[in-house]
Amino acid sequence: MHKWLKFVAAALAFALLAPPAFAESLAQPDVFVGKIEAHPALWTVHGPKGTAYLFGSIHILPPNMEWQTPEVAAAMKAADTFVFEIPMDASTQTDIATFVRNHAFLPKGTTLPSLLDAKADKDYRDALAASGIPAERLVDKRPWFAALVIEVGYMGKRNLSSNAGVDRQVYAAALARGVKNFRALETPEEQFRLLMPDDRDLEIKEFDESLKEVLKDKGELGNLIDAWAEGDEARLGKLMNEGLKADPRMEKALFEDRNARWVSKIGAMLNENHTYFITVGAGHLAGPKGVPALLRKRGFKVDGP
- Side chain identity at 305, as an amino acid letter? P
Condensed to tens digits (0 to 9), the pLDDT of residues 72-130 reads: 999 999 999 999 999 998 888 788 888 889 999 999 999 999 999 999 999 999 999 99
pLDDT band at 186 (very low <50, low <70, confident <90, very high): very high
Task: List the single range of 33-37, 151-155, 176-180, 203-207 with lowest mean pLDDT.
Answer: 33-37
- For the ranges 7-21, 25-39, 154-168, 232-246, which has the lowest average pLDDT? 7-21
Say what the pTM is: 0.90
Look at residue 64 and tell me if it is in a domain: yes
Count of the separate structural domains present in the chain: 1
In percent, how much of the chain has pLDDT > 90?
Answer: 53
In a domain, 22, yes or no: no
Q: Residues of the chain with pLDDT > 70: what percent?
A: 87
Q: Provide the pLDDT confidence category of residue 222 given band limits of 50, 70 and 90.
A: confident
CA distance linking residue 236 with residue 232, whole number of Å:
6
pLDDT on residue 29? 46
* Domain assignment present for 25: no
pLDDT band at 49 (very low <50, low <70, confident <90, very high): very high
- Comparing CA positions, the residue from 12, 30, 16 lying closest to residue 156 is 30
The predicted structure's pLDDT at residue 213: 86
Q: What SS3 class is residue 56?
A: strand
Decide if 29 is inside a domain: no
What is the helix, strand, coil percentage profile of the chain, to 5? 55, 10, 35
**CA of 292: how far to CAs of 21, 46, 71, 81, 156, in Å?**
38, 11, 18, 19, 31
Q: Could you tell me if residue 228 is inside a domain? A: yes
> CB–CB of 185/280 below 8 Å?
yes
Give the range of the structural domain holding residue 95, as residue numbers without chain letter: 2-17+36-303
Confirm if 249 and 295 have CB atoms less than 8 A apart.
no
- Does a structural domain hold residue 291? yes
Mean pLDDT of all residues in 126-150: 93
By C-alpha distance, which of 299, 115, 295, 302 is closest to 201?
115
Average pLDDT over residues 226-255: 81
pLDDT higher than 80, residue 7: no
Q: How confident is the model at residue 25 (pLDDT cuts 50, 70, 90)?
A: very low
Burial class of residue 250 (count of CB atoms within 10 Å of its CB; 0-12, 13-18, 19+): middle
In-domain check, residue 24 = no
**Angle between helix 143-157 and helix 2-10 axes, rounded to 10 deg:** 90
Examine residue 117 and state whether it is found in any structural domain, yes or no: yes
